[in-house]
Amino acid sequence: MKITIITITYNAEKVLRPTLQSVFRQTHNDVEHWIIDGASKDGTLKIAEDYKRHDDGTDNGHEVKILSEPDSGIYYAMNKGLQRATGSYVLFLNAGDTLASNDTLDEVCASIGDGEELPAVIYGDTDIVDADYNFIRHRRLSPPKRLTWKSFLHGMLVCHQAFYARTDIARDIAYDTQYRHSADVDWCIKVLKEGRRRHLPNRRVHAVVANFLDGGDTTQNHRASLHERFKVMRHHYGLLPTVIMHAWFVVRGVIKK
């Protein structure tokens, strides 16, 4: 089963190599890796081209594709990647984030039984790592055994980098570019809603499938991200449930302190 991985880059030379290496080392032998670059001005594109050249010289069933041109931000770039994806599933693996182990993609594919209809979403756990890729902690929010579109009312229980979406669903659902930091939350909810409409299950992989680099965009833009997430949740769940849940988030934060 082909997996499409999309990596968005812009001036990412300091963090890109570990991401590319984690994909290159995958034992799964049917991988399409799109690198969508926003016309970087540093060494990002050279790193990507060196990676493609090195990967093309191996017989590992991987296909690396690079698109570099100016864009209007990360979610515009993600939409370009979606339209080019040809795998059965698509995964967004940001520059700096990595697949958890060399057999992660094999574990994801093995979660589907022979002859079984493809689930709408396959998802797993996430670890947080530091700049040297040392383990810091497990992600605080843990994926539920049964994931639905309503699950995200309780927060983004599945990290974007651990969310494998069926491409035939994902390609028809564009990231909403009115959001600058939280369109991924909105997109995941919409994908889950469409999966439910098609009466498709979702499947949990009981393993860590992604390492999330501490200090990413959401961390750096925490306040703006929270404001956008409130808007996303209000849109999907209504004002009252969103207010109640955010009040609980505040109380939970105070208790933990």
Other Cβ atoms less than 10 A from the Cβ of 21: the count is 12
DSSP for 184-229, written as a single string: HHHHHHHHHHHHHHTT--EEEEEEEEEEEESS-HHHHTHHHHHHHH
Query: How much is the pLDDT for 231?
Result: 94
Place of tokens 């079984």: 116
Q: Which residues of the chain are modeled with pLDDT < 70?
A: 216-222, 248-257
CATH number for the domain harbouring residue 153: 3.90.550.10
The whole-model pTM stands at 0.92
b/e code 99-125 from CB counts within 10 Å (16+ = b): bbbeebbebbbebbeeeeebbbbbbbb
Query: How much is the pLDDT for 134?
Result: 93
Number of domains in the chain: 1
Note the pLDDT tens digit of each residue in 62-103: 999 999 999 999 999 999 999 999 999 999 999 999 999 999
In a domain, 256, yes or no: no
The mean of the pLDDT values for the chain is: 92
In a domain, 240, yes or no: no
Query: How much is the pLDDT for 74?
Result: 95
Dist. CA 64–CA 54, nearest whole Å: 10
In a domain, 245, yes or no: no
In a domain, 194, yes or no: yes
In a domain, 106, yes or no: yes
Give the residue from 14, 151, 2, 171 showing the smallest Cα distance to 79: 171
Query: How much is the pLDDT for 174?
Result: 97
| Domain region containing 80 | 3-216
In a domain, 25, yes or no: yes
* Helices vs. strands in the chain: H and E counts, helices first: 9, 9
In a domain, 232, yes or no: no
Query: How much is the pLDDT for 254?
Result: 47
Query: How much is the pLDDT for 253?
Result: 55
Query: How much is the pLDDT for 106?
Result: 98
In a domain, 237, yes or no: no
